[in-house]
Chains A and B, each alone.
Chain A
Amino acid sequence: DTEVTQTPKHLVMGMTNKKSLKCEQHMGHRAMYWYKQKAKKPPELMFVYSYEKLSINESVPSRFSPECPNSSLLNLHLHALQPEDSALYLCASSQVGGGWEQYFGPGTRLTVT
């Protein structure tokens, strides 16, 4: 059983839609991450929140907007996406400090039509 959950599992959206991806962790971690993964490629970091504050933004286009309402929740708001944004979106969490071991959720498979 994963202690990082993501909803929805699958999402199909048009280029004019607005949608949100949700992530919740029950591990007591204080760092949370959003990654994007294309087929046959490693995960690509998008955003990092540490103690509910945005600490890393990897120059992600503004059509992706992260939000961390509290230490257990992480959202990714999507607006005016392009077909090339279709990918597996992964959430992860870790402790802050120590080894920073990251644990991934099951991901949301996003298709932009």
Chain B
Amino acid sequence: QKEVEQNSGPLSVPEGAIASLNCTYSDRGSQSFFWYRQYSGKSPELIMFIYSNGDKEDGRFTAQLNKASQYVSLLIRDSQPSDSATYLCAVKGNQGGKLIFGQGTELSVKP
């Protein structure tokens, strides 16, 4: 069983719609959760992190965490073609700063 699972996609949404990206994790003791955006040929960029159950909003991005269900999601409101990228979910492991990454979800926003 993979420790962090994401739908690989591609996920295609029309411009202006809400994109919903989902991630589940297996370690119930995990405390820190991250979303990275990676454009093709570029390095991952940290766009959201969340530690507590509930929602965290930053501009058009909302991260949602449900520790009981071991589920973290990223919502992108008013999606733009510039949001087209691969989104990586990462969970902090129990060894120092080690992150466990999901396989990534490719998002395509169509004009």
**Chain B residues in contact with chain A, CB under 8 A?**
32, 34, 36, 42-46, 49, 51, 88, 92, 95-99, 101-104
With a CB–CB cut-off of 8 A, which chain B residues contact A71?
none
- A90 close to B96 (CB less than 8 A): no
Extra contacts besides A43-B44, A101-B34 (8): CB < 8 Å: A43-B88, A90-B44, A96-B96, A99-B32, A99-B51, A102-B34, A104-B44, A104-B46
**How many angstroms from the CA of A94 to the CA of B92 in the assembled complex?**
12
CB closest residue in chain B, given A55: B96
Instruction: Provide the main secondary structure of the chain B interface.
Output: loop
> Given A42-B104, A99-B32, A99-B51, is A31 in contact with B97 using a C-beta cutoff of 8 Å?
yes
Interface size class of A (residues with CB under 8 A): 20 to 34
Identify which of residues 63-103 in chain A touch chain B, using a CB-to-CB cut-off of 8 Å. Answer: 88, 90, 94, 96, 99-103
**How many angstroms from the CA of A103 to the CA of B97 in the assembled complex?**
12
Cross-chain contact of B49 among A42, A101, A104 (Cβ < 8 A): A101
**How many angstroms from the CA of A84 to the CA of B36 in the assembled complex?**
26
Q: How far is the CB of B52 from chain A (nearest CB, A)?
A: 11
> Can you name 30 A-B pairs with beta carbons within 8 Å?
A31-B96, A33-B97, A42-B101, A42-B103, A43-B44, A43-B101, A45-B98, A48-B96, A56-B95, A56-B98, A90-B43, A90-B44, A96-B96, A96-B97, A99-B49, A99-B51, A100-B92, A100-B96, A100-B97, A101-B32, A101-B46, A101-B49, A102-B97, A103-B46, A104-B36, A104-B44, A105-B43, A106-B42, A106-B43, A107-B43
With a CB–CB cut-off of 8 A, which chain A residues contact B32?
99-101
Q: How far is the CB of A102 from chain B (nearest CB, A)?
A: 6
CB closest residue in chain A, given B106: A40
